[in-house]
Structure 1
């Protein structure tokens, strides 16, 4: 066992682990080995039971839009975009955006799927796209 496994506060923080996986094109979240709940944003301790037994897992990526808003920008600044809260099928809610459609067309309750994209200005980003196969959401 290494120090990070015995002491959750040793070494780089869990947000660094999340960022490193994302930089490699992988979307990962934590799952508590003690209570079985999924956790996001990355933590050293489970937000449900306080355990330090958090493992990294790849979620299904399936989600549902909980809320969305349009951020208005001038076209020369990149144009409008949306900011959305997404409820993952595994339970956690996270903030991202929905790509592949006009920002004003994003709707609450819409099924979406996670994708890691390569943004020229910001590197790898986690975004969501409209889901075409509704059977993937339980």
Structure 2
């Protein structure tokens, strides 16, 4: 009986052992939305998250399925990962009720979605802080 318990404990220890870095890298597969966002952010560095962003002009917010809401402002790409990214669908339209300035979008603003075709209510989006992604300063100098 001791042999059986020892063998079971050894097998459990093998299963619980962490994978090597290579195994972890191979095991991680990005969703289509995550891959699209990664491509958008390639070469950029995340800055300090902010509660509100300026949304001057008519630049649209972009929904990336099951991943995030993105807003481009010049060289900065603002990403809001939302509290429930799995409810993001690029076939939906964002309906935003702002509580603060008309020129800002803030994490406490009320955001719902409507189906693009039927215009029926399709969900509620809970915003998080907006993360700015910018090119590193040395990359900006070499481009200009």
> Under a length normalisation based on structure 1, what TM-score does the superposition of the two structures give?
0.26
Which structure has more relative contact order (CA 8 Å, sep 6+)? It is: 2
Higher helix share: 2
Query: Of the two, which has the highest radius of gyration?
Result: 2
> Under a length normalisation based on structure 2, what TM-score does the superposition of the two structures give?
0.26
